[in-house]
Amino acid sequence: MTELNKIALQILSNGKGILAADESTATMTKRLDSVKVHSDENNRLLFRQTLFSSSSMSKCIGGVILYDETIRQKTSNGKTIPELINSSGSLAGIKVDTGTKILAGSKEEKITEGLDGLRERLNDYYELGARFTKWRGVFLISEDYPSHLSINANSHALARYAALVQEAGMVPIIEPEVLMDGNHTAKDCMNKTSKVIKKCYEELDLNKVDLTGTILKPNMILPGADCSEQISNEEIAELTLECLKKNVPSEVPGIAFLSGGQNEIEATANLNEINKKNNTGFIMTYSYGRALQQSALKFWSKDINNIIGTQEIFDHRAKMCTLAAQGKWSKNLENKK
Ligand code: 13P
């Protein structure tokens, strides 16, 4: 077993998942604005440090994805944030893309940037304590999108990123996100997501990435947010498993889904169904941002010094997600706090 495979398994095994707390300062400011908390360095640290010192960290959270600001911050008792995360047996990760810009040659689609100078930045992050990384490629979906251009350009960038990350001794999370926005059906999502994932693995192969030391972070197969189609959690799970079984090489140790705008209960219920039916051989777990943090953030915003109360809310959500990652969740557990 290689060191990178060991790290990937440490993050994902035994129902553990990933807390995606890597919102850029602009995105975190939007989240804090929505609950009327002033977005400054201290408040961003306070909320995140509250989550990272919760008791569920040791049982549920195998890895935390950080943003550049956070990985350099220290807690009030002088620990670095990676040290705080490591103290519960979890690993620190870092978002290394620098965001998206309009893709030249396409009217609306985006290209993810951040390859220039990446090798040097990775060495810096390793020194700061990171052992895994994230890069998000984002794909619009409609009749014409994602275009060949967007699929090719973003998959190429994801693969070049992944190769550099492995060279630096870290596990790359490969996140090709087909967005939920639109009125497409689940079947459309399935077809387009399949194309994107297939192309990503062609590029990863070309770039000689060792798949046993990677984690895939895909969207689930869902109807668009504006589609009237009614679809059950069971059908979502079946389509998602079919898509991944067909397009992800078997060497990949695990898949950690993004929540992508699903609410907390939907994201948990769908992951649970996926695990009840999982016949793929891949670990299937979560790498949630909003679906792990939303309720905790709302509660915290009412009294930012209520650390224990905020942690209870977060611990419950993390516990529910970890049960779902083992196919052991049911809705009635939501009320037993
Ligand atoms: P969500 O779970 O809120 O979609 O965030 C996950 C993530 O890391 C998106 O890049």
Ligand 1 pocket member 252 (CB < 6 A): no
Ligand 1 pocket member 289 (CB < 6 A): yes
What the block records as the tokens of 280 is: 């793929």
Mutation probe of ligand 1 site: the residue of 67, 110, 133, 287 with most atoms within 8 A of C-beta: 287
> What pLDDT does 172 receive?
99
Domains of the chain: 3-334 (3.20.20.70)
Ligand 1 pocket member 291 (CB < 6 A): yes
CA distance 192 to 171: 26
Say which amino acid occupies 175.
E
332-337: average pLDDT: 84
pLDDT of 322 higher than 70: yes
Atom number in ligand 1 closest to CA 267: 2
Q: pTM here?
A: 0.98
294-300: average pLDDT: 98
> What pLDDT does 24 receive?
97
Mutation probe of ligand 1 site: the residue of 219, 290, 292 with most atoms within 8 A of C-beta: 290
Identify the active-site residue in 23, 109, 175, 203: 175
Q: Among this protein's residues, is 217 annotated catalytic?
A: yes
> What pLDDT does 1 receive?
81
Contacting residues for 308 by C-beta, under 8 A, at least 6 apart: none
Say which amino acid occupies 285.
T
Ligand 1 pocket member 146 (CB < 6 A): no
Centre of ligand 1 to C-alpha 293, Å, is: 11
Q: What mean pLDDT, rounded, does the chain reach?
A: 97
How does pLDDT run across 167-198, given as a tens digit for each residue? 999 999 999 999 999 999 999 999 999 999 99
